[in-house]
Amino acid sequence: FLIEEGQDSFESECQCSIVLGSDSNESVKATRDDIIKHIDQTVEKYEVPQDTQHIVCHVDVNNEILTAMTVASPDIIESHIVNYETWPPQDGAIWEKGNLIRPLSSMYPDIPKQEIGLRIYQAVKDFLTTLYSHQFRRKDGILMQHTMIGIDCNHEKEEVMKAIRDLPFSTSIIPMYGQGIPAKDKPMMEKNYGPGCMKYHHCVNVPHRGYAMMNLVVDVNYFKKKVHEGWKTRPGWPGSIQLFPETRPGEHDVLIRHMLSEDPILDI
């Protein structure tokens, strides 16, 4: 029935599960309950499923904190969030960017507080080195490392790029930029980004002038919607997102609050 009639019909007729349409933000936007349902009790933090082919991480850069999330997936995307962390590490499960117990300026007291770029340069080098050293255990016991680490370069771009260049494993790091493509506009795959670019699914690799590396430009509107759809997709289905179980109560509260603050952008 699934093969002949498709997933929507299968969900409705065989699973008694009504799949909401995607004609409004409210029908697409995930809820707290949707995310909680995707906590996987079989894959612990720092573990990856047996069929994992890719382990990728994204680092977000702010003046006083860096945040990172690592996701494992087979070739057909089924995302397992296997780690997230901050630099500096924050005490407790609840924290906010505007009210940090341990900001970067306290971690690097020898760097003058007004020297934001220099502090971010050092923090990026230290945090990426820590992330690059992480090992993830596959279900059969094999140890794996990050396939690629992407880092936001929209803030303090030159200092972040310099930090990447100065690391011995810079080939495993890719600078990333978010770009919102309106629904009425052409998707990234149909745009002309000039010579040397490599187009992928709603993202494109473009050469960076002055640095011998590529930059990945991502359509954030498209992927915000896909994240919400991933939380609403039945766990185990292609496109779904899974989350490691909590080791302490409330561990996922900050993540959930952040996810639900990002509205999906409809491509209609």
Q: What's residue 39's pLDDT? A: 95
Q: Can you tell me the mean pLDDT for 112-121?
A: 95
Q: Can you tell me the mean pLDDT for 180-206?
A: 88
Residue 24, pLDDT above cutoff 70 = no
Residue 20, pLDDT above cutoff 50 = no
Percent of the chain scoring above 70 in pLDDT: 88
Structure confidence by residue, pLDDT tens digits, 234-260:
988 889 999 999 988 888 998 998 888
Q: What's residue 180's pLDDT? A: 85
Round to whole Å and give the CA distance between 232 and 35.
8
Q: pLDDT band at 11, cuts 50/70/90?
A: low
Query: Tokens 């959930």 — which residue?
Result: 256
Cα dist from 133 to 44, 48, 129, whole Å? 18, 16, 6
Residue 146, pLDDT above cutoff 50 = yes
Q: Can you tell me the mean pLDDT for 202-209?
A: 87
Q: CB of 128 within 8 A of CB of 145?
A: no
Q: Is the pTM of this model over 0.75?
A: yes
Q: What's residue 101's pLDDT? A: 86
Round to whole Å and give the CA distance between 228 and 27.
10
CA angle 154-127-118, nearest 5°? 60
Q: Is 259 helix (H, G, I), strand (E, B) or coil?
A: helix
Q: Can you tell me the mean pLDDT for 148-160?
A: 93
Q: What's residue 4's pLDDT? A: 65
Query: Tokens 């909590």 — which residue?
Result: 246
